[in-house]
A and B are shown apart, each in its own frame.
Chain A
Amino acid sequence: MSDTAAAHEAPTSTGIDHKKLIMWLFLASDCMFFGTLISTHLLYRKLFPAGFTDAEGHQRFIQNLFNIELTSFSTFILLMSSFLMALAVSAMHKGQIKSFRRNVLGVIFFGLIFLGCQVYEFTHFYHEGLTIQNSVLGSTFYVLTGTHGTHVAIGVLWLIMMYFYSFTGKLGGHMGALDVEIAGLYWHFVDIVWIIIFTAVYLVEYLGPNGIWGTGLPAVAK
Chain B
Amino acid sequence: MSSSHEAALSPDFLAEEVRRYHHFIVLALWLAVVTGAEIVLIFLPIPVAAILTILTLMSAGKFFAVILWFMHLIYDKRLLFWCFFAGLALAFATYAALLMLFSVDRIDTRWFS
Q: Does A119 have its Cβ within 8 Å of any Cβ on chain B?
A: no
**Interface bits A84-107 vs B (CB < 8 Å: 1, else 0):** 011101101111110000000000
Nearest chain B CB to A189's CB is how many angstroms away?
8
What separation, in Å, do the CA atoms of A102 and B70 have in the docked complex? Answer: 18
Q: How many A-B residue pairs have CB under 8 A?
A: 198
Q: Is the CB of B80 within 8 A of A79?
A: no
Asked whether A195 and B104 contact (CB < 8 A) given A93-B17, A171-B1, A176-B1, the answer is no
Q: Does A134 have its Cβ within 8 Å of any Cβ on chain B?
A: no
18 A-B contacts (beta carbon < 8 Å): A1-B76, A1-B77, A15-B77, A31-B91, A39-B99, A82-B31, A83-B24, A83-B28, A87-B24, A89-B72, A93-B13, A95-B3, A176-B1, A188-B67, A196-B59, A198-B59, A207-B48, A219-B105
Q: Is the CB of A31 within 8 A of B84?
A: yes
| Chain B positions 66-112 with a Cβ under 8 Å from a chain A Cβ | 66-67, 69-72, 75-80, 83-84, 86-88, 90-92, 94-95, 98-99, 102, 104-110, 112
Nearest chain B CB to A192's CB is how many angstroms away?
5
Q: Is the CB of A90 within 8 A of B92?
A: no
Nearest chain B CB to A38's CB is how many angstroms away?
7
Instruction: Enumerate chain B residues within 8 angstroms of A171, measured Cβ to Cβ.
Output: 1
**Interface bits A52-94 vs B (CB < 8 Å: 1, else 0):** 0000000000000000100010011001101101110110111
- Other A-B pairs beyond A72-B39, A86-B24, A90-B21, 9, CB < 8 Å: A30-B87, A36-B94, A86-B70, A90-B20, A95-B2, A174-B5, A188-B66, A203-B39, A219-B106
Asked whether A16 and B80 contact (CB < 8 A) given A199-B56, A203-B38, the answer is yes
Question: How many B residues face the partner with a CB closer than 8 A?
Answer: 68
Asked whether A7 and B10 contact (CB < 8 A) given A97-B1, A219-B105, the answer is yes
* Chain A interface residues (CB < 8 Å from chain B): 1-5, 7-8, 14-16, 20-21, 24-25, 27-32, 34-36, 38-40, 42-43, 46-48, 68, 72, 75-76, 79-80, 82-83, 85-87, 89-90, 92-97, 136, 171-174, 176-177, 181, 184-185, 188-189, 191-192, 195-196, 198-200, 203-204, 206-208, 212, 217-221
Q: Is the CB of A3 within 8 A of B12?
A: yes
* Chain B interface residues (CB < 8 Å from chain A): 1-6, 9-10, 12-14, 16-17, 20-21, 24-25, 27-28, 31-32, 35, 38-39, 42-43, 48, 51-52, 55-56, 58-59, 62-63, 66-67, 69-72, 75-80, 83-84, 86-88, 90-92, 94-95, 98-99, 102, 104-110, 112
